[in-house]
Amino acid sequence: MAGTDKTQTSITGGPAVILVHPQLGENIGFAARAMMNGGLSDLRLVAPRDVWPNPKSFAVASGAEGVIEAARVFDSTAAAIADLHRVFAMTARPRDLIVTVATPRDAATEMRRVVGEGAKAGIMFGRESKGLENDDIALADTVIQAPLNPAHSSMNLGHAVMVMAYEWFQAGDETPGRTLSLGRTDLATKEELMTFFRRLEPELDACGFFHVKEKRPIMVRKIRNIFQRAGLTEEEVRTLHGILSGLTRRSRTPGNRDSDD
Amino acid sequence: MAGTDKTQTSITGGPAVILVHPQLGENIGFAARAMMNGGLSDLRLVAPRDVWPNPKSFAVASGAEGVIEAARVFDSTAAAIADLHRVFAMTARPRDLIVTVATPRDAATEMRRVVGEGAKAGIMFGRESKGLENDDIALADTVIQAPLNPAHSSMNLGHAVMVMAYEWFQAGDETPGRTLSLGRTDLATKEELMTFFRRLEPELDACGFFHVKEKRPIMVRKIRNIFQRAGLTEEEVRTLHGILSGLTRRSRTPGNRDSDD
């Protein structure tokens, strides 16, 4: 997860991606790009339909050229998975087979465990037109089926590889669900925020904003809550001071109100 | 989740997908297909670069033609999101902005909540070459950043839409992580399995497999464990009976052993 060194992050020992009889060169390229996004690098092709290497794959690779160059071509699915200990088959269509069916998320968790134990895993994807054949699925330990719109559950090949590469990475990632990104500034302290309120509220008194006296406490609370909730930075509190200075200066200079508008 | 009626499953009230200045028609088509996979249908385009409607979008739609036909085109991002209550911006590149950053998973959970409360949500995606501009990101409530290989975190536009459509669907889905799919048969009962063992073990005695007598109990346990663990169906137990019948018939017919091989 740490660092941005290409070599380090692309060699993960993650699952091999096995494309069985892929038809379009572009889709092999899209699959390679998706693999790179998820930190995967072991691409295997079983008897691709078109010429290999395929220039159309490189055309859409966007940085994943290395994955395509290192791809290995096999004559059969059995040969492509021979060195693997745990094999998954991704398919949209449930067949008349007795198989363990896992979600992408559950499968990714299992892959992390298997790989963590020093074993080698792989995920098979079928050809674009009809997915994996039963003979290929029978070679897998587990079928992966993504819960998707039942009326349109068939994914584009590159998209299917993206979902698995994404879930593989998520299964090993600890990014918190939600964070505040601060750019180059720091969050304001409560004292900085209070200093702003101690300037704002007297100005609101002076301009007659709190004209119903008994409602002043509740209005103050509501106003403080707006700025409190925003999670302001130091810089933003300075901007608010500037706005306040500008608005109050303007209202104190008679004649300006109309001439500037 | 239930049923396969196209109309029903594609109108979900899910988030709108807003493509800001998309460049390639193919990517709009791939985005539409990904939306259909996740049950989304509200596609909005902000000033697409090429002619619209674009035949290249339809060429890759694979069933999502309806989403493309219903897509609305806007002149500006502000116009495209005007009716939405909660807007997300997906970007690979952290900018110098003070923003809440969420993972796709966390954002999808929030979208389900927002939509469940009757509000309208949307997700903005930037142009292929450089993603969203800061002016667009500033219009969003939350930035979505997928945890991915830091050396190659930039996703293809269609892939990025796929990740969000996938997470949107997962956030409302209750498929168990792992199930056994049985095809057309039922799991075998323990009695059916025991009946097989009560045939198998005497045959193994007869052929001399258990030649070390004191090891018989542990060997029986190991053999039973193999078949126990496999989670066999009725049909598979019948197949095992057939194998046993075949092998024992063969060994009892003198002369067959050589002539058939």
Q: Lay out the sheet containing B142-144: strands in order across.
A: A178-181, B99-102, B142-144, B86-90, B121-125, B16-20, B43-46, B72-74
Q: Reply yes or no on whether the pLDDT at B2 is more than 60.
A: no
Q: Is the pLDDT of residue A257 over 60?
A: no
Give the model confidence (pLDDT) of A173-191 as tens digits: 999 998 887 777 788 888 9
- CB contacts of B163 in chain A (<8 Å) are 162-163, 166
pLDDT attached to residue A256? 47
In a domain, B183, yes or no: no
Instruction: Show the beta-strand stretches assigned E in chain A.
Output: 16-20, 43-46, 72-74, 86-90, 99-102, 121-125, 142-144, 178-181
Reported as a pLDDT band with limits 50, 70 and 90, residue A253 is low
SS3 A219: helix
Candidates B30, B100, B148; nearest CB to A156 = B30
Q: Considering only CA atoms, which of A116, A143, A154, A102 is closest in space to residue A15? A: A116
Contacts of A147 in chain B (CB under 8 A): 1, 169-170, 173, 175
One domain for residues B123 and B224? no
pLDDT value at B4 more than 60: no
**So what's the pLDDT on residue B230?**
81
CB contact under 8 A, A98 and B180: yes
Nearest Cα of chain B lies from the Cα of A15 at a distance, in angstroms, of 15
pLDDT of residue A215: 92
Could you tell me the pLDDT band of residue A251, with boundaries at 50, 70 and 90?
low
Percent of chain A at pLDDT exceeding 70:
89
Number of structural domains found in chain B:
2
Closest CA to A48 of A66, A31, A25, A65: A25
pLDDT, tens only, A52-66: 999 999 999 999 999
Asked whether the CA dihedral A165, A48, A119, A95 is positive or negative, the reply is positive
Higher-confidence residue of A201 and A11: namely: A201
Strands across the sheet containing A16-20: A72-74, A43-46, A16-20, A121-125, A86-90, A142-144, A99-102, B178-181
> B146: pLDDT confidence band, cut at 50, 70 and 90?
very high
Residue A180 to residues A123, A138, B104, Cα–Cα distance (Å): 36, 47, 15
The lowest-confidence range among A245-259, B90-104, B233-247 is A245-259
Say whether both A167 and A194 belong to one domain: no
Residue B101 is nearest to which of A1, A181, A236, comparing CB atoms?
A181
Which of B104, B153, B180 is facing A37, going by the closest CB pair? B153
Which one of B121, B142, B171 terminates a domain?
Answer: B171
Range of the domain at B119: 16-171
Chain A hits for B182, CB-CB cut-off 8 Å, are: 98
Separation between Cα atoms, residue A33 and residue A26, nearest integer Å: 11
Which position has the token pair 């719109």?
A149
So what's the pLDDT on residue B258? 43
Question: Do both B29 and B123 map to the same domain?
Answer: yes
Instruction: Please state, as a whole number, how many other Cβ atoms lie within 10 Å of the Cβ of residue B21.
Output: 18
Residue B7 in any domain: the answer is no
**Per the domain annotation, does A98 fall within a domain?**
yes
Q: Which candidate, A49, A220, A1, A148, places its Cα nearest to that of B64?
A: A148
Subunit contact A97:B185, Cβ cutoff 8 A: no
pLDDT number for residue B253: 63
Q: Are residues A39 and A104 in the same domain?
A: yes
Q: How far is A181 from chain B (nearest CA, A)?
A: 5
CA A77 to chain centre: 31
Same domain, B155 and B35: yes
B152 and B36 in a common domain: yes
Which of A127, A143, A171 corresponds to the end of one domain?
Answer: A171
Asked if B132 and B35 sit in the same domain, the reply is: yes
Residues of B within 8 A of A30 (CB-CB) are 156, 159
* Radius of gyration in angstroms for the set of CA atoms belonging to chain A, rounded to a whole number: 29
Decide if B91 is inside a domain.
yes
Whether A162 and A200 share a structural domain = no
Q: Can you tell me the mean pLDDT for A70-94? A: 92
Q: Considering only alpha carbons, which residue of chain A is nearest residue B98?
A: A182
Mutation target to probe the B interface, by most B beta carbons within 10 A, among A152, A184, A186, A227 is A152
Identify whether residues A42 and A81 lie together within a single domain.
yes
**Helix/strand/coil for B223:** helix
Pairing type for strands A99-102 and B178-181 reads antiparallel
Q: Is the pLDDT of residue B94 over 70?
A: no
- The beta-carbon neighbor of A100 closest among B9, B102, B180 is B180
The number of C-beta contacts closer than 8 angstroms across A and B is 197
Cα separation, B53 vs B74, in Å, equals 13
- pLDDT at position A104 is 97
Q: Minimal Cα–Cα distance from A149 to chain B, Å? A: 5
B240 shares a domain with B153: no
Q: What does the pLDDT read at residue B110?
A: 95
Residue A36 lies in a domain: yes
- Give the residue with greater pLDDT, A18 vs B11: A18
Structural domain contains residue A30 = yes
pLDDT bucket at A246, cuts 50 / 70 / 90: confident
pLDDT attached to residue A57: 96
Predicted confidence at residue A250, as pLDDT, reads 66
Instruction: Give a yes or no: residue A177 inside a domain.
Output: no
| Alpha-carbon distance A136 to nearest alpha carbon in chain B (angstroms) | 16
**Which of A153, A156, A238 has the highest number of chain B CBs within 10 A, making it the mutation to test binding with B?**
A156
> pLDDT tens-digit profile of A12-31?
689 999 999 999 999 999 99
Higher-confidence position of A72 and B6 = A72
Same domain for B130 and B197: no
Interface ipTM = 0.84
pLDDT score recorded for residue A181: 79
Angle between helices B25-37 and B157-171 (to 10 degrees): 10
Domain boundary among the residues A136, A171, A206 is at: A171
Residue B88 lies in a domain: yes
Q: Residue A108: pLDDT above 50?
A: yes
- State residue A49's pLDDT score: 95
Mean pLDDT of chain A: 88
pTM score of the predicted model: 0.84
Specify the DSSP class assigned to residue A236.
H
Token pair listed for B134: 């800061």
**Best of B12, B113, B156, B235 to mutate (most A CBs within 10 Å, chain A):** B156
| Pairwise CA distance, residues A114 & A133, whole Å | 25
- What is the CATH number for B238? 1.10.8
Whether residue B261 has pLDDT greater than 50:
no
CATH number of the domain within which B152 lies: 3.40.1280.10
Interface test with B, best of A26, A67, A68, A98 (most B CBs within 10 A): A98
Are A72 and A103 found together in one domain?
Answer: yes
**Mean pLDDT score, A144-168:** 96
Q: Which of A98, A103, A153 sits opposite B177 (nearest CB)?
A: A103
Q: How far apart are CA B56 and CA A181, in angstroms?
A: 38
**pLDDT of the residue at B134:** 87
pLDDT at B25 over 60: yes
State residue B169's pLDDT score: 97
Distances (CA, A) of B136 to A48, A131, A147: 42, 39, 32
Lowest mean pLDDT among A38-42, A149-153, B95-99: B95-99
- Residue A9: predicted pLDDT: 39
